[in-house]
Structure 1
Amino acid sequence: MELRRIGYAVFRGVYDSFRGMFAVLSLDKEINDRKVRYSPTRINSIRQKPLDSKETTPVRQLKKHEESKVMKRIIQCGVLNGGIFLISILLFEYGLLPTINKLLGYIFGNESFMGKLVWSWIEPILSFIFKTVWVIPLFLLSKVVNALWFQDIADSAYRHTRGRPVFSQSLSKVLADSIFSILIQLLFLIQAMAVSYIPINMVGYTLSSVQMCMLYSLYAFEYKWFNMGWELHKRLSFIESHWPYFIGFGLPMTVFTQLSDSWIISGCVFSILFPFFIISGNEAVPVLNSSDYPLHFFAPVIGVSNILFSKTIGNTKR
């Protein structure tokens, strides 16, 4: 029975992870409906009615209405990461380099020693120049831009479905929370890479995939939880107590990003798809509180972090 519940939670997580693609359409329709209700013609019709306390409220709400940036940012993420970044890499790897290689084959002969020698020098030089001048700068720039766009998508989706974000913490606590969150994510990534080197066949790969599933889930849900005013220890505790669901939720993204051996291409795929997972996380309701099942075997970083945070918070309250 317990295995059935865990299996259902994993399945439900996988199902909910795909809801973002459909939620975007419904969210866009809702935004368009609001635009119709909040159009200038509608505002003027309301203003023409007799002014009283009940009638002025809709007008004030219309003035405060903000246009969503969800669809705009999703398109921008696709254009930057897929249309510019990813296509340029594919054209270089599968277009320019093979063309130059064939050209050298025509000049020196396909099996000539001189042709292979020239290619052995040209290929690494061109790859180094391409990565140094184009790939690395654009990759770093896209990381910064994507982070800003991801935040816009999360804030807009949260505002349209849940209302105004809750900011109950001081600036210093928010800054400390963000720094610790980045540190936890970095340790989580190192943990996933470390277990991948376990020499037992498929064990290392499986454990590493489980780590990445939970890390991607943490990425997606942190935007909503942060807007809800949850501190880091509460976010990690929630992951810990619902780990089967979050393994399932992060599974599709893990599969998509592991289709390529190139970490740059995997980064592009992640940046293209992640906006949908942000919306899925905003819409999802995790199931199966599994606090009775040990998580520390799957995610020691979360387990140790929760112990440290609980002790720190307990000492602070005293």
Structure 2
Amino acid sequence: MESVTNFSVSLIKGFIDSLRGVTVLLYLDKEINERALSRSPLTEFENTKNKQKQPKVKQESKVLTRVLQSCILNGFIFLLSILIFEYVLLPAVKYLVTVVFGHNPGVAHNVWAWMQPFLSMTFRMIWVLPLFLLSKLVNSLWFQDIADSAYRHRRGRPQFMSSVSKIIADSLFSLLVQALFLVQSMLVSMLPITYIGELLCLVHMCLLYSLYSFEYKWFNMGWELHKRLTFIETNWPYFLGFGLPLAVLTQIPQSYIISGCVFSIFFPVFILSGNEATPVIGSEYPLRLFSPVVAISNALFRCVRQGAEVVTQRNR
């Protein structure tokens, strides 16, 4: 009974903490700007003592600006353009085809049968794909900016890993683990048991989105990937609740592109939530969902390293 109670408390606490970023947005910029202003040497006494006038410096925080920019890019430009194309332009063109060939419904059906895929493919190649790639690049920069500003305000200067090569290796390994974990979530969703596959997929996505949200803070704290993953696996009830809102929101759309837009719109709030949150620790039963993909990633990196060593020896 106590285990169930602890699980429920951790799950609810994680869910509530994931929503804190909404309120943080309302005051974080103001606090950062006030702190920057209070640290500026701007008093009249100091100006007189130094016999020169020092300009007043105020470092404007851009957290709220970055969040709004992300919403505009991913919501009003990217997502809205897709919805307009799918639910306004395509139906309008279809109606035009039926009007032009109204005397012959069979011809209208055949014309629309080749026109609709052609228009959809053209739209995706000319607009959706370039904008998708651009948004991925821009979002990564904005997300990093949001995370760094919030971290410096709460905890001061980041404590990075000991060397640049270690940072690069950790980042590459992290990307591989996350990609394989996505594949793992898709595989478990295919289990031929009613609702079990979907539930396991949801659990995977909750933990993955929690990793995304907390990774900025943990990386700035100098935590290596194995420590980040172990912490999530050990305290999984909290992170299950933390990632639940974003996982549900992104699973509602049927389109991968629209799901990505929804993720990019709401994710900055979860970055702020993760920066503010204090996870509930002490779960009795670790959930080793990341362990299989970590083992596969280690094997792949080992093969690549051995292959590189063999090529190096042959070149000598």
TM-score by length of 2: 0.87
- Output the CA distance in 1 between the equivalents of 2:36 and 2:108: 64
- RMSD (Å), alpha carbons: 2.4
Aligned counterpart for 2:65 among listed residues 54, 60, 72: 72
Supply the AA of the counterpart residue of 2:195.
Answer: M
Shift of 1:300: 4.2
Q: Give the secondary structure class of the aligned counterpart of 1:43.
A: coil
- What is the number of residues matched between the two proteins? 295
Shift of 1:145: 1.0
> What corresponds to 1:133 in structure 2?
126
Shift of 1:37: 3.8
Pairing 1:1-318 to 2, within 5 Å after superposition: 1-34=2-35, 37=38, 43-45=42-44, 47-48=46-47, 66-109=59-102, 112-290=105-283, 292-296=284-288, 298-301=289-292, 304=295
Deviations 1:255-310 (A, max 9, x none): 110111000000001001100100000000000321x30313x44447758999xx
Supply the AA of the counterpart residue of 1:8.
Answer: V
- Output the CA distance in 2 between the equivalents of 1:211 and 1:189: 8
Q: Identical aligned pairs, as a percentage? A: 54
- Output the CA distance in 1 between the equivalents of 2:231 and 2:11: 15
Shift of 1:85: 0.5
- Output the CA distance in 2 between the equivalents of 1:216 and 1:46: 51
Deviating beyond 6 angstroms after TM superposition, the runs of 4 or more aligned structure 1 residues are 305-308
- Output the CA distance in 2 between the equivalents of 1:174 and 1:277: 23
> What corresponds to 2:309 in structure 1?
none
Supply the AA of the counterpart residue of 2:165.
Answer: S
Deviations 1:70-90 (A, max 9, x none): 112111111111111111101
Instruction: Return 5+ residue gaps in structure 1 as ranges.
Output: 52-58, 309-318
Change (3 A) 1:275 1:37: same
Supply the AA of the counterpart residue of 1:295.
Answer: L
- Output the CA distance in 2 between the equivalents of 1:3 and 1:302: 28
Supply the AA of the counterpart residue of 1:294.
Answer: P
Which deviates more from structure 2 when the two are superposed, residues 161-170 or residues 257-266?
161-170
Change (3 A) 1:35 1:110: farther
Change (3 A) 1:306 1:124: closer
Instruction: Return 5+ residue gaps in structure 2 as ranges.
Output: 300-316
Shift of 1:31: 2.8
- Output the CA distance in 1 between the equivalents of 2:48 and 2:13: 49
Change (3 A) 1:168 1:300: closer
TM-score by length of 1: 0.86
Supply the AA of the counterpart residue of 1:253.
Answer: L
- Output the CA distance in 2 between the equivalents of 1:216 and 1:110: 53
Supply the AA of the counterpart residue of 1:256.
Answer: L
Instruction: Tell me if structure 2 keeps the 8 A contact 1:6–1:288.
Output: no
Instruction: Tell me if structure 1 keeps the 8 A contact 2:229–2:290.
Output: no
Deviations 1:16-45 (A, max 9, x none): 000001111121231343365467xx8143
- Output the CA distance in 2 between the equivalents of 1:16 and 1:111: 60
- Output the CA distance in 1 between the equivalents of 2:152 and 2:296: 30
